[in-house]
Amino acid sequence: MNALDRRMFLSISAAFAAASVLPAHAQRHGADRPRLIINALGGLDDPNPDIRHSEPTQANPIADTQPGEFSVRVLRDAHASGLTAVNLTLGFVAGTQDPFEYTVRDIAQMDAIIRRQSRDVLKVLNAADILRAQAEGRIGLIYGFQNAVMLGNDASRVEIFANLGVRVIQLTYNPANTLGDGSAEPLNRGLTPFGHEVVGQLNAQRVMVDLSHSAEHTCLEATRASAQPVSINHTGCRALNDLPRNKTDEELRLVAARGGFVGIYFMPFLDPNGHATAEEVVAHIEHAVNVCGEDHVGIGTDGSTTPIDDLEAYKMALAREVAARRAAGIGAAGEGPDTFPFTVDLRGPNQFRELADRLQRRGYSSARVDKILGQNFLRFAQDVWSS
C-alpha cells in the first residue's frame, strides 16, 4: 500500500543536499559476505520532515511529492540496515493528475536521482543487478507500480514502461480498475478481458505480475492466466486476520504452486486491533511458509528503514492521511487514525537483523532465514526477468 517510496502514509522528503554515505558493507553475514536483503515493497524516505510540512490534497490524497534526492540520513539508515535492494513504488496510484504523464515524469525524476547519487544506489534491470548492488555495497532500486491505471486502455503501454525500466506492475490498487477488482471492491469480480490482455503483455515483456491489493477472484484468475510465475509482494495471511488486504490460503497456495513469490508486510492488517507487532510479522511468515513452502516466502515491508522520531506528532499526520484516503475512495478495511502503517518494535535500521534473530529463535536455520530475507525474491526475479 505504498506509493512513491512508501507514499501511502508517508511521502519522500525532498530538497536535501546530495551526499554519499556509502559505507563498507554495513551488515555482514558470516565472515566475508553481506547478507542478501531484498524488500519486495518498501521505500527510501524520511517521514519526519513531512509530518510538519506535507498535507494531502484533492489532487494528491496520498500526500505525495515529487522527490528531490535521498537524504543523508535515509541513505545512512538504509546502508546500516543491510538492505540490498528494494521495490520502490513509482507513478500514479490515485488523485486527479493524468496517470500516464505523471508516471513518465516520475520515472524520469527517479532516473535523475540515481544518476546524481550513483555511489549509493543503482537501477535494477535484472537479477544480476541485485547481486551487483550486493557486491558493490550499493542499494538496488527496482521500479514498480502499485496500480496499472497509467496503461489507460492500451496494453501495449506495458512495453513502453518496460523499456523505461519498470520491472514490477501491480494490477490493481484497493478500488476496481479496468483490469479487475481491488481488495476494497466488495463485488470481488475476477480479471477483466483487458486484464487478461495486460497479463499477456507483462509476460511478453518479462515484467512481474504483482497481485498485492487485488480482490481474491482477480488474484486467482490472474495467477492462472499468467504464463510466468506471479507475486504478491506485500500482504498478510487472511487465515490469521480476516481482512481483504490479506490473502487466503487458496491464493497463497496457488501462487506458490506456480513458482511465485509472497512477501509479508509489516502493516496493521496483520493484527485484528490494527496494532501489529514483530511477533505477528513472524506468525504471518510462519503461516505463509507452512502454506507455500520455504522457497516462496519473503518480505515486502511496505516501509522504509528510517524511523519516525516523534510518534505523537505522527499520530496527527496519520489521522489526516487516513481521512484523505477515505475521502478519495482508496482506504482499506483495517486502516484507522491510530493504526500505524508499521510495527513499532520492528522498524528503523535494525529491523532486518531483529527479524532474523526472531526467526532463528523460532528454530529457523540460517539458510531458511536467508531465503526469507532475500534469496527467494532473487530466485523469483531470475525466473521472471531472464531473457
Q: 311-330: per-residue pLDDT in tens?
A: 888 877 777 878 888 887 88
To the nearest whole number, what is the mean pLDDT of the chain? 88
Please check the confidence at residue 13 and state whether its pLDDT lies above 50: no
Task: State the pLDDT confidence band at 59, using cuts at 50, 70 and 90.
Answer: very low
- The whole-number pLDDT of residue 50 equals 56
Tens digits of residue pLDDT in 110-168? 999 999 999 999 999 999 999 999 999 999 999 999 999 999 999 999 999 999 999 99
Amino acid present at 27: Q
Selected residue with higher pLDDT from 315 and 265? 265
* Res. 310: pLDDT tops 90: no
Confidence tier at 340 by pLDDT (50, 70, 90): confident
Grid look-up 535515509 returns: 74
Residue 258 has pLDDT above 80, yes or no: yes
Mean pLDDT to the nearest integer, 292-320: 90
Check pLDDT > 60 for residue 19.
Answer: no
Please tell me the predicted confidence (pLDDT) of residue 102: 97
Beta-strand (E) ranges in 125-187? 139-145, 166-170
pLDDT for 387 equals 57
Residue 292 burial by CB count (10 A; 0-12/13-18/19+): exposed, middle or buried?
buried
Q: Which pLDDT band holds residue 285 (cuts at 50, 70, 90)?
A: very high
pLDDT over threshold 60, residue 46: yes
Give dist(CA 9, CA 299) in Å, integer. Answer: 19
Give yes or no for residue 17 having a pLDDT over 70.
no
| pLDDT mean over 223-227 | 98
Q: Which domains does the chain have, with CATH numbers?
A: 28-385 (3.20.20.140)
**Which pLDDT band, with edges at 50, 70 and 90, does 270 fall under?**
very high
Locate 95 and state its grid cell. Answer: 488523485
pLDDT of res. 49: 57
Least confident stretch, 21-30, 178-187, 188-197, 281-290 = 21-30
- The mean pLDDT of 225-233, rounded to a whole number, is 98
DSSP for 282-312, please give it: HHHHHHHHHHH-TTSEEE--SB-SSPPS-HH
* Percent of the chain whose predicted confidence (pLDDT) is above 90: 74
pLDDT of residue 33: 59
8 pLDDT higher than 50: no
Would you say residue 219 has pLDDT above 90? Answer: yes
State the average pLDDT over residues 92-104. 95
Q: Using CA atoms, how far apart are residues 335 and 177, in angstroms rounded to an integer?
A: 21
**pLDDT at residue number 312:** 81
Question: What's the predicted TM-score (pTM) here?
Answer: 0.87
Assess whether pLDDT exceeds 80 at residue 267: yes
Worst-scoring range by mean pLDDT, 16-30, 34-48, 304-318, 352-366?
16-30
Q: How confident is residue 10, by pLDDT bands cut at 50, 70 and 90?
A: very low
Residue range 275-298: mean pLDDT, rounded: 97
* Sole residue written with cell 492466466: 225
- 334, pLDDT greater than 80: no
Q: What is the mean pLDDT of residues 97-120?
A: 97
H or E stretch at 135: helix 127-136
User: Exposed, middle or buried: residue 31 (CB in 10 Å: 0-12, 13-18, 19+)?
Assistant: exposed
